[in-house]
Amino acid sequence: MLKETPQLAPDGQPWRISTLRNAAGMVVTITDWGATLLSCRVPMPDGSVRETLLGCASPEDYLQQSAFLGASIGRYANRIANSRFWLDGNEVSLTPSQGEHQLHGGPQGFDKQRWMIDRQNEQEVLYSLTSPDGDQGFPGKLCATVLYQLTEDNRLEITYRAEVDKPCPVNLTNHAYFNLDGEQNDIRRHELQLLADQYLPVNAAGIPDQALRAVTDTGFDFRSRKAIGQDFLNDDCQQKVGGYDHAFLLNARGDEAQPAAHLWSSDGKLQMTVYTSAPALQLYSGNFLAGTPAREQGEYANYQGVALESEFLPDSPNHPEWPQPDVILRPGQTYRSLTVYQFTPC
């Protein structure tokens, strides 16, 4: 189902909202502005329905927030240090969006652009976007698509694809924030298992400043299920950024059939499993959510949503030594990144 809002987006056109449904009663809504996930409602065995995504009360409220709620992120998710990198012997300068650094593709990234609806039905919607040469400083024209699919076994599948006419780093993801309790409460009571032996330390600006580090004997060890708050802020690496905002190099990197992470609601009644073809997940505990317009009760507070963003490691264009595929997409190649969020009542 597709509907248009009476309110208008910044380009003077209405928001177009697509609704996906399955026979189990799961309902997902998405808008073409930023190819943004608005809602993900999961039916529970007792007949109730849980809203698992953070979101705003109306589409226009999304313009009043800077948390990237549910948005498609590109051309390059996460941070590029000093808004520059070297490519084939030439320095490329980007448009900064977080101090001197570029975050999530720049001040006018893919989250702030109108995506075209190429096709849709109750099971899927396909969006496309063309980013011109020089957009936010990136070289070449890029053509991207994102396919949202809802399966009968409560899997929300998100597939990004892209092609370029000049070499360019590409790193697309969705910035969904989850709270499996369906309430505006503290996600640090959620339990998480993140199947990664290594994480990437960062400085106070979120820029990697050390080599990959083993999670063993640190608060970053989520290889066994534990509460997000169990080791919260117990080390300098977390304290620099107010909690978790770190990339984990996945043990199953590239193998989309193997779980990357499991998340459980505070009451243990709903589980979400993450699968991805990406090499890393960024764990963000919502450290700076305060003041973000909320769907129901005014504003969100810090730590009321958790993001598990599938992506390359941050600042990868400046670190070709890291053990992951090349982040530079070249003409004739196709970028593809799949992420699956599967919801299972317990």
Q: Where are the alpha helices (DSSP H) in the chain?
A: 236-239
pTM over 0.85: yes
Nearest to 313 by CA among 221, 194, 206, 237: 206
Q: Is 175 annotated as a binding residue?
A: yes
Active site residues: 175, 309
Q: Is 184 exposed, middle or buried (0-12, 13-18, 19+ CB in 10 A)?
A: middle
Q: Is 339 exposed, middle or buried (0-12, 13-18, 19+ CB in 10 A)?
A: buried
3-state secondary structure of 4: strand
Q: Is 177 annotated as a binding residue?
A: yes
Nearest to 199 by CA among 178, 179, 217: 217
3-state secondary structure of 194: strand
Q: Is 279 exposed, middle or buried (0-12, 13-18, 19+ CB in 10 A)?
A: buried
pLDDT, position 296: 87
Q: Encode 256-318 in three state secondary structure.
A: CCCEEEEEECCCCCEEEEEEECCCEEEEECCCCCCCCECCCCCECCCCCCEEEEEECCCCHHH
CA distance 158 to 147: 6
Asked if the 2-345 domain carries CATH number 2.70.98.10, the reply is: yes
pLDDT, position 339: 98
Nearest to 20 by CA among 154, 125, 165, 174: 125
pLDDT in tens, 8-35: 999 999 999 999 999 999 999 999 999 9
Q: Is 174 annotated as a binding residue?
A: no
What is the C-alpha end-to-end distance of the chain, expressed in Å?
Answer: 30
CA distance 272 to 174: 16
Domain boundaries, the chain: 2-345
Q: Is 57 annotated as a binding residue?
A: no
In this structure, what token pair is assigned to residue 264? 């459980």
Could you list the pLDDT tens digit for every one of the 346 residues in the chain?
A: 889 998 899 999 999 999 999 999 999 999 999 999 999 999 999 999 999 999 999 999 999 999 999 999 999 999 999 999 999 999 999 999 999 999 999 999 999 999 999 999 999 999 999 999 999 999 999 999 999 999 999 999 999 999 999 999 999 999 999 999 999 999 999 999 999 999 999 999 999 999 999 999 999 999 999 999 999 999 999 999 999 999 999 999 889 999 999 999 999 999 999 999 999 999 999 999 999 999 988 999 999 999 999 999 999 999 999 999 999 999 999 999 999 999 999 9
pLDDT, position 132: 98
